[in-house]
Structure 1
Amino acid sequence: MTERLPLFPLNTVLYPGLVMPLHVFEERYRRLVADLQALPEDEPRRFGVVAIRDGREVAPVRETEGPAGPLDGLGTVTGDPREALYRVGCVADVTSVRSRADGRYELLVTGTTRFTVESVDASGPYLVAETRPLDEPSGQGSGALGAVVERAFHEYRKRLAGAKEATLAGDIELPLDPQALSYLVAAATVLPAPVKQELLACPDTAQRLTAELELLRRETALLAWLPSLPAADLTRQAFSPN
């Protein structure tokens, strides 16, 4: 079964079960939000979040003056938009919408299920994709792996706090469910976007936890050698620009 979803490309990764704030200011995404707002009350307001390869921006195809390569000066994809996007994304359910006087929106969305992009329609004001939901089996040994990853994550956070010469405010309450744990650790660890995307695309929970364990041990060892390494604050998350 496939589902047709509007796409919201970002330079970050959304995971199932995680909440993300979005500041919507570009016209094409303002149109997307307006179209969602216009849906009947009983219809779900959701779209697909997909990460952009190499930090590029994507938009529907439109004619422009002058020469244009794969991306023109307006950030428009002049070829296949799938080349600029990762194939695995996450459905975002709109939790709240706040309209601003200047036409912008502030959204709060929650990741629900993963999907693969089967095809992309670039004929409208924003990209729309035919998507196929992805199942996620637990995989062998996910429960035992979860306990090990939890300990490694706590040690990583201690090292990170030391690297910042500050104490991270509060503590992250980790879920007992291995799948939920795997996604929270993926979201809360300071990693490059391509690595976060690889974690999203893991075929099962056990493989994601195995990859995270290796990453956490590596990052913790690196922080031990480089105590002044700068890192993002895991307890705060700014609005993601579109």
Structure 2
Amino acid sequence: MTTARLPLFPLHAVLFPGLVLPLNVFEERYRAMMRELLKSDEDEPRRFVVVAIRDGRETAPTGSGMPDTAASAAVTERAPAEGFGPDPLQTFHRVGCVADAATIRERADGSFEVLATGTTRVRLLSVDASGPYLTAEVEDVTEEPPGEDEGDEAGALAEGVLRAFRAYQKRLAGANERSLASGAELPDDPTVVSYLVAAATVLD
């Protein structure tokens, strides 16, 4: 199994492969991450891992040795003393998604506008909070395509999911069959369907 150590960006949201994530980066811990990513060659992917927070907040005190120009007293009071507790791994869900930052634009105030795309899912093995920003050792989550016999079953399941999803969209919009616009074509690949439906469903 392939492992790597990558910067970690925790959010109260889940990123899925193939989906786009706009970010407004204002906290110093993550400004430092973006400055580091900008040092890499433009031809190389600027990768970091987005992971959903299990317990806690998106903001936390800045890592040791870093000025915390964006911190407020309120945020500091709410966050754990070390930012993410004695074992940061327990703060996050174990499966995240590698993001490729196609655009990193620094604003005049030092914050960043970032546009990233999810690429592959990974499992967190460990989290290091000792540096200026979080890093994680991760391993790839293998996405096994369905075999020949399983393909028909997966396709049928995907069709059922899409029917339920369309009904869900209508209920959410408060629209009936005739008044609801057909909208964009939905994919038929079962893996893509699983990501799209999970990302588009309104859940806590």
When normalised by structure 2's length, the TM-score is 0.81
Structure 1 runs (4+) deviating above 4 angstroms are 58-63, 167-170
Report how far residue 170 of structure 1 moved: 7.2
Name the counterpart of 1:146.
Answer: 158
2:12 & 2:47 partners in 1: Cα distance?
19
1:21 aligned residue: 22
Q: What is the letter of the counterpart of residue 139 of structure 2?
A: R
Alpha-carbon distance between aligned partners in 1 of 2:113 and 2:164, rounded to the nearest angstrom: 35
Identity %: 57
Check if 1:161 corresponds to 2:173: yes
> Is the alpha carbon distance of 1:60 and 1:24 closer, same or farther for their aligned partners in structure 2, counting shifts above 3 Å?
closer
Q: Is this contact kept in 2: 1:23–1:105, CA < 8 A? A: yes
Distance 1:82 1:52, change over 3 A: same
8 A Cα contact 1:13 1:50, kept in partner = yes
Distance 1:61 1:106 in 2: 21
SS at match of 1:4: strand
Deviation by residue 1:26-85 (Cα, 9 ceiling, x = unmatched): 01101100100011233320100010013434567659xxxxxxx972621231111111
Mapped partners of 1:169, 1:148: distance in 2: 20
Tell me which amino acid in the other structure corresponds to 1:183.
Y
Q: CA deviation at 1:120?
A: 1.4
Q: Residue in 1 aligned with 2:43?
A: 42
CA RMSD of aligned residues (A): 2.3
Q: Contact between 1:48 and 1:92, CA under 8 Å: does it hold in 2?
A: yes
- Unaligned runs of at least 5 residues, structure 2: 66-74
Q: Structure 1 residues 40 and 95, CA, compared in 2 at 3 Å: closer, same or farther?
A: closer
After TM superposition, give the deviation of residue 151 of structure 1 in Å.
1.1
Q: CA deviation at 1:186?
A: 0.5
Which amino acid in the other structure matches residue 8 of structure 2? Answer: L
**Contact 1:91-1:111 at 8 Å conserved across structures:** yes
Amino acid of the structure 1 residue aligned with 2:194: S
What are structure 1's unaligned runs of at least 5 residues? 64-70, 193-242
How far apart, in 1, do the equivalents of 2:158 and 2:96 lie? 23
**CA offsets, 1:159-208, max 9 Å, x none?**
11118xxx88872431121111110011111112xxxxxxxxxxxxxxxx
Structure number with the higher helix fraction is 1
Of residues 99, 121, 134, the one that matches 1:114 is 121
Q: What secondary structure, in the 3-state scheme, does the structure 2 residue paired with 1:73 have?
A: helix
Q: Give yes or no for contact 2:63–2:133 (8 Å, CA) kept in 1.
A: no
AA at the equivalent of 1:132: E
